[in-house]
Amino acid sequence: MKELPDYFVQVPEAFALVEEGVYRCSGVLTAEQIKYLDTLGLKTVLILSVEGPSRAFSQYIKSKGIKRAHLGMTRWQSNLGWKPVSEELIKEGLECILKRDCHPLLIVCSSGVRETGTLVGCLRKLQHWNFNSIVYEYRSFAGGKGKYTHELFIELFDTDLVTLPATLPKWFVEGQNMWAQEQQQRFNELHRAKQRIAS
């Protein structure tokens, strides 16, 4: 295979912007795809699969002084029943994503779909997304690799397990404030409707 010029970079598979300062992609990266990561100015790499990153990716993380959080290794459990991932993995992953000091942050797993898609789906649930929108996003990345058990896990995940860090990113704070305002507006409309019926 012909070697590519030094200036050539390639976007990693399943790469996307999740929110400002939070990215996702497959953890199986070529040398050209690793070069692309330089454009992100990463502070943290969140590894969700049990398998570690490739030697080239590990060397890149070390050489750039990027914090490596290998939750797939530390939070792996052998007996989860029907659950595709552990709740501890998702809880700790969300708490890391929501720490503003960890940004820019890259989420990876071996496929770029299963664990990553589940974590992002649970983030969307924490952001009060409609469940149909969460599933649509999950399936748009998963393609034929998606599994119903991952969608079910997202639906049943208890967001109360997540401890919100002190330094939340702006996009999360603004989203929560907007949701609270919408809930208050709905409550006020319902209250006025009840008053009209009663009078």
Dist. CA 169–CA 137, nearest whole Å: 21
DSSP line for 1-17: -PPPPTT---PPTT-EE
Identity (one letter) of the amino acid at 159? T
Q: What tokens were used for 178?
A: 């907007």
Q: What is the mean pLDDT of residues 138-148?
A: 87
Q: Tokens standing for 103?
A: 């940004």
Q: What are phi and psi of 44, to 5 degrees?
A: -140, 140
- Of 169, 153, 14, 176, nearest to 86 (Cα)? 153
Is 199 or 135 the better-scoring residue by pLDDT?
135
Amino acid at site 49: S
* Active-site residue list: 109
Structure tokens belonging to residue 42: 């990463």
User: Which residue is it, tokens 């649930």?
Assistant: 125
Side chain identity, residue 55: R
pLDDT of the residue at 1: 46
Give tens-digit pLDDT for 110-128.
888 889 999 999 999 999 9
Q: Could you give the strand order of the β-sheet that contains 44-47, starting from the edge strand earlier in sequence?
A: 16-19, 22-26, 105-109, 44-47, 67-70
User: What is the value of pTM for the model shown?
Assistant: 0.88
More confident site: 86 or 44:
44
pLDDT in tens, 153-195: 999 999 999 999 999 999 999 999 998 898 888 888 887 887 8
If you ran DSSP here, which 8-state letter would residue 37 be given?
H
Longest dimension (CA), the chain: 81
Q: What is the DSSP letter of 53?
A: P
Segment 94-123 shows an average pLDDT of 95
Alpha helices in the chain, H assignment, sequence order: 31-37, 55-63, 71-74, 87-97, 114-126, 131-142, 148-156, 170-198
